[in-house]
Amino acid sequence: MKVGLAYGDGRLAVELPAGVDLTVVEPTYQPPLADPAAALRGALRLPVAGPPLRDLVRPGQTVAISMCDGTRAQPRHLMVPAVLEELQGIVRPEDVTVLVATGTHRGSTPAELRAMLGDVVDVVRVVNHDARDDEELVWLGWHDGDVPVLLNRTWLAADVRITTGFVEPHFFAGFSGGPKMVAPGLAGLETVLALHNAARIGSDRATWGVIEGNPVHDSIRSLVDAHGRVDFALDVALNRDQEIVAVFGGTLGPMHHAATAAVRRLSMQPVAHRFDVVVTSNSGYPLDQNLYQAVKGMSAAAEVVEPGGSIICAAECRDGFPDHGSYRSLLAAAASPAELLRSIESSVTTTPDQWQAQIQARIQSRARVLVHAGFLSDDELAEAHLEPAADIDATVSELVHSIGPSARVCVLPEGPQTIAYAR
């Protein structure tokens, strides 16, 4: 059987051995909305909860709009103009700021911003949030006893605050979107590190599709409620082609609850048992642009792999590890994933690179992990304690042959866009 894995800008064809016990898990396909612009207007005017956006804004007020950065597939070119259209006739363009919710990621270049937003960059001010710029952060005290709260100054100064994002299962925060567009999106580095410390991420509840009782999401949600007030939130759900299939607007909590319920139905699929071999992607570009991001595809596979089984992750990694940050050096410095895990879990605070390394090491404590990456050499993968899978067809065949006729194989063509879970 031939299966196409999301990979880079296209698909990677994989031929699975004949006669193998094979399960292919994909999102419930939903056709795109016929008129996404109309659906966005509808969500802004008839929200899930709370008043329409226009009822929240008065002439003379300033407005801040939060949006995802370039590592996310948000349809910013549709969502941000829809919000600006609703604000026309009430506030002046010069009183609107679009904030790129980078979290701890790098800021987008002018060319990248234009590619994401089109002519919007000529109409309103567009600013990259910088979690490391003390001048752009405001200290708001402590939250949950151990989280120092630093949030973006422009966001806090705005009279009206609007988040825009998209919802998908998240490998340790449960789901994306909603409050994450403020924290970590617009938070200071110290805040982000505390929200994602080793203890929170190490919890069994810090996983795909879990929000309530998830220490990561619980702290994010309560911090934003207490310190980051959102006046109107707009989230979308996407299909595997990154097209809008549903739109949700309104008061943050009820809006995000409705969005996550819909995405759970579309993106989470039960399976009858675990598998000896799980082949996954990282959902293609932009999500598979580096190895750091590809940990999400590995994590999706880890949900259904047998202990001691094998995970094969196809991620293009055109941006390498990436070269910026300490992710590569962290992996290379440890003699083994077990040593890396012990080191990180003994830390009081952890960095974003350590979060990802911690999750990768936990996966490797459960299963063998092989990676097919067009822009990483075998030696580079070995630095990360990963094995190469240059030929996925041959690798699967070898693994199945070594296990024997009882071998069970699962394929996640869309990677973390589909979260399989064993009943």
Active site residues: 105, 170
**CB neighbours (10 Å) of residue 140?**
17
Torsion angle (degrees, nearest 10) of CA 357, 362, 363, 369: 60
**CB neighbours (10 Å) of residue 278?**
28
Residue 264, classified by CB atoms within 10 Å of its CB into exposed (0-12), middle (13-18) or buried (19+), is: middle
Non-local (6+) Cβ contacts of 175 within 8 A are 167, 168, 169, 209, 211, 217, 256, 259, 260, 263
What's the full length of the chain, in residues? Answer: 423
Structure tokens at 136: 């752009």
Identity of the residue numbered 203: S
Residue 193, classified by CB atoms within 10 Å of its CB into exposed (0-12), middle (13-18) or buried (19+), is: buried
Contact 192, 183 (CB under 8 A): yes
**CB neighbours (10 Å) of residue 226?**
13
Chain centroid to Cα 385, Å, comes to 23
Between the alpha carbon of residue 269 and those of residues 11, 29, 149, the distances in Å are: 22, 12, 36
